[in-house]
A and B are shown apart, each in its own frame.
Chain A
Amino acid sequence: MQPRSLETEELTDRLTTALLELDRNAARACFQHGALEPLAFSETVLAAALERIGDRWERGELALSQVYMSGRIAEDLLDDILPPQDLPVTSHPALAIAVLDDFHPLGKRIVSSVVRASGFRLTDYGLIGVDDLVQRARRDGIEILLISTLMYPAALRVRELRVRLDRDMPGTRLVVGGAPFRLHPNLWREVGADATSTTAAGVIPLLRRLIAEPS
């Protein structure tokens, strides 16, 4: 990560506005004027803009529709400046995301946009149950697993997932999120997760921390 300069701050302000106004051209212009490499731009400016948007959502200043739509624009911008095949191969532990035992994909969609737009590679397992998830994560050597749920009984399935991971893939870190975790701030601990965030963009500093700490 690059140190944040005044210029980066200004760029982040401008990009935040462009994303919220759903202005693709203005968002692209931020990249073009920034003179940063695509990956550095996404790690510093784009990730920071999405984090600000997430924080403002959590404070009640912005709506989920804005979080979602701005995430879409951010993802498009990233595809444009840094197509997936151009991402550096393995600069970080293998990450995956899934919706566990639930039918609601929007949370995962938003988190994926943010994670990808911040320059990470992310495997997406879609909507999945505990058995299949453990099997696939093991096959892919996943080290950090992101789980999104909307229903409470689905959130409770994380307990079972934790037990299975500890048995079959010890050391795998588990990050959970979604409405039940947001509305019940202690739930992530109760189900044995390693971390949570009330916003999608909050996952970025979390990932950086988990990557920096050995498991």
Chain B
Amino acid sequence: MNEMTPLERVLCTLGHREPDRVPFFLLLTMHGARELGIGIREYYSTPELVVEGQLRLRKRYGHDCLYGFLYAALESEAWGGETAFRDDGPPNALAPCITDIRKIPHLEVPRITEAPGLKKVLEVLAGLKARAKGEVPIIGTVMSPFSLPVLQLGFERYLELIYREPELFCELMRLNTEFCVAWANAQLAAGATAICYFDPLSSPEMTPASDYPRLGGAVARATLSRIQGPTATHLASGRLGSILDEVAGTGTAALGVSSREDLSALKKSFSGRLAILGNLNGLEMCGWSPEQAAGEVRRALSAGAPGGGFILSDNHGEIPWQVPDRVLEAISETVRRWGRYPIAPEVLPDA
């Protein structure tokens, strides 16, 4: 088979067919700063730096996407929150931006173009689009309306809101849905090819599977249907448990799955309904040797790749800063060597 472009490869696999080889997404963020030899905070301050970082990372590892994600707390910043930076890891939201839940009905949905952090992301996406020549998918990201309140309110207060203040909860979901739809569509307009919808609160690890249809699932259906482009849902390493059918019904095209789930079993139960994105353990990756990395990749390919519908990536949607370059190189080399379709039976290291 002729070599496909990354975009062709990804579209082919999303159509549940086998492309030339398994596409892989190294969802790298902070590594761009390392690539440019600058600090994380400085890196995130200037869109051109992020564009340059993303392009250099792709040049080095040859993965099949460019990633427009900076950090989750950019969204809480848009709602009035502040962010703390550190030198050795991702920025985090500081104190919750909604201090009094009674004020929820009076909140105004932030305008995308008036939030400096969000504008930065739009510039990153536009810059990537200008330089990717339409050949590489550019991934935009949103926090789901159902997951964002952890940052807006703090986790404890949010759980209390869900289960003790159903009306205020619904009102917040309405506001967040408006925000999320506008934010996703702005990213698509700026240059994103697809949107990754981060929704770990919907994982049955976080809220009961039996609540999904009326909580996270209802919000996802309402939101995804208004996003004007393809979406993938990511549980950010939360397990999927028993909600597969409902998730498949939200209109998403792919699902990011946890390393704590059995990829072969998932592959069977997905049976062509959703593509799989996953599921290398990003935290363990920090300490892998290149040989271990190769073994993990081969196991994942063997379980997930046959038949298409599979994009190899980490289990969380962001590779930790501590993952060394040699591990990323090993992942990349192993996919190139063992990820060619048809997948060879010897792909399993112990076979």
Q: Which residues of chain A have a CB within 8 Å of any CB of chain B?
A: 22, 57, 60, 62-66, 68-69, 102-106, 109, 151-154, 156, 180, 183-184, 186-187, 190
Asked if A68 and B156 sit within 8 Å, CB to CB, the answer is yes
CB contact under 8 A between A153 and B322, given known A65-B159, A103-B94, A104-B155? yes
Total A-B pairs, Cβ < 8 A: 71
The answer to whether A60 and B204 touch (CB under 8 A), given A103-B84, A109-B156, A153-B88, is yes
**B241 in the interface (beta carbon within 8 A):** yes
Residues of B within 8 Å of A, CB-based: how many?
34
Could you jot down 19 A-B contacts, CB within 8 Å? A60-B204, A60-B205, A60-B241, A63-B204, A63-B205, A63-B206, A66-B208, A68-B156, A69-B159, A104-B155, A105-B154, A152-B320, A153-B86, A153-B88, A153-B322, A156-B322, A183-B283, A183-B284, A187-B283
* Identity of the chain B residue whose Cβ is nearest the Cβ of A109 in the assembled complex: B156
**Given the complex, which residues of B lie within 8 Å of A68, measured CB to CB?**
156, 159
How far is it, in angstroms, between the C-alpha of A156 and the C-alpha of B209 when the chains are bound? 33
Beta-carbon nearest neighbor of A185 in chain B = B284
CA distance A64 to B156 in the complex (A): 11
Q: Given known contacts A63-B209, A183-B283, what 20 new A-B pairs fall within 8 Å (CB)? A: A60-B204, A60-B205, A60-B241, A63-B204, A64-B206, A64-B207, A65-B162, A66-B208, A69-B163, A103-B92, A105-B156, A151-B92, A153-B88, A153-B322, A156-B88, A156-B322, A183-B259, A183-B281, A183-B284, A186-B287
Q: Please give me the residue from chain B that is nearest to A63 by CB atom.
A: B208
- Are B321 and A153 closer than 8 Å at their CB atoms? yes
B175 nearest CB across to chain A (Å): 21
Residues in A with CB closer than 8 Å to B204 are 60, 63
Partner-A contacts on B (CB < 8 A): 84, 86, 88-90, 92-94, 154-156, 159, 162-163, 204-209, 211, 237, 239, 241, 259-260, 281, 283-284, 286-287, 320-322
Check B94 against A183 for contact (C-beta < 8 Å). Answer: no
Which of chain B's residues has its CB closest to A181's CB? B283
A186 to B292, CA, bound (A): 15
Q: Which residue of A lies closest to B284 (CB)?
A: A184
Query: In the complex the two chains form, is A152's CB within 8 Å of B155's CB?
Result: no
Q: What's the Cα separation between A187 and B320 when bound, in Å?
A: 14
Cβ-closest chain A residue relative to B240: A60
B206 and A65 contact, CB distance less than 8 A: yes
Q: How far is the CA of A102 from the CA of B204 in the complex (A)?
A: 25
